Amino acid sequence: MICLTGDIHHTSLETNEQRFVESGDSEVKIACRFLKIIEKYGLKVTFYVTGKTFDEEWENLKLITDSNLVEIGGHTYGGLPLGNFSKILHKIIGRCPPSHSPTYGSYFQQKRDIKRMIELAEKKTAWKIISWRSHGYIHDENTYSILAQMGIKMISDEISSKKIFPEKIKEGLISHPINTIPDHDHLYHAHRDGEFVRKAKIAGYGRDDFGSDSHSIEIWGEMVQKQVVEIEEKEGLATILMHPICMYTADKFKTAERLLEFISQYKTILAKEIMWRIK
Ligand SMILES: [Zn+2]
Ligand SMILES: [Zn+2]
């Protein structure tokens, strides 16, 4: 079984990668085109979307939330923007600033952000939001208990090369780790060229359970396929992360299309549907 996921961010977040999107285009518009391929293969997908995307780009986002094959999960309201001071500091030390702050803020800041995200998404879509992934997987000891209080049931922040089954965590949420190699931090694409990856490795950015190496999109696609086969053989749940924007900037969806066609031989499941299968 496969839980296909992707994260979508508002344009005004101005992430490093968004600089590689042509003017007039946006992450949401890219995600619409990505969804067309997903629909072509009849797959289900969970998109974790920042709250500000609902406020600022609803017209385009609506085309995604209207699809029967899509579940919308929370991805923070504001996308944890980096402060100006931190941006300047990174420039001074000659490093490309990261796309988000390293922390989610105080208990009350988190609670306000989470509440705002959920209320807005529910108002716009009329669906209950029960699945969550934090932007940059950023969370602390408060985050999951706040999410549980706010009605969130499913979380997918962990990256694990070993865990092939969802598990209940102490705050009461069900965690389904991303257990195939994540795309963004393991791909050469957009701003992540040889020089960027070399500096990121030294700084320890993007290191996870799958190591700190980056690959061409073609190699990455083959790695995901192999990992899916291994998880399917053990009857586990493969949670795959494919950001629409990464798939587009890397090779204009060429590898994504191959991978989605491959995935179509298996059953796909929305994050919220995992909950019904857990005893
Ligand atoms: Zn994100
Ligand atoms: Zn990317």
pLDDT in tens, 133-191: 999 999 999 999 999 999 999 999 999 999 999 999 999 999 999 999 999 999 999 99
Q: How far is the CA of 275 from the centre of ligand 2 (A)?
A: 29
Biggest distance spanned by C-alpha atoms of the chain: 53
254-263 and 217-233 are packed helices; what angle lies between their axes, rounded to 10 degrees?
Answer: 10
Question: Rounded to the nearest whole angstrom, what is the distance from the C-alpha of residue 231 to the centroid of ligand 1?
Answer: 25
The ligand with the least distance to the CA atom of 19 is 2
Q: Which ligand is nearest to the CA of 100?
A: 1
Give, in order, the Cα–Cα distances in Å from 202 to each of 67, 89, 199, 214: 42, 17, 5, 13
User: What pLDDT does 87 receive?
Assistant: 66
Domain range 2-275, CATH class: alpha beta
Task: Give 102's pLDDT tier (boundaries 50, 70, 90).
Answer: confident
Domain segments of the chain as ranges:
2-275
CA of 8, nearest ligand number: 1
Ligand having the closest approach to the CA of 9: 1
What's the pLDDT tens digit per position in 43-101?
999 999 999 999 999 999 999 999 999 999 999 999 988 777 666 776 777 766 667 88
Query: φ, ψ for residue 195 (rounded to 5)?
Result: -65, -45
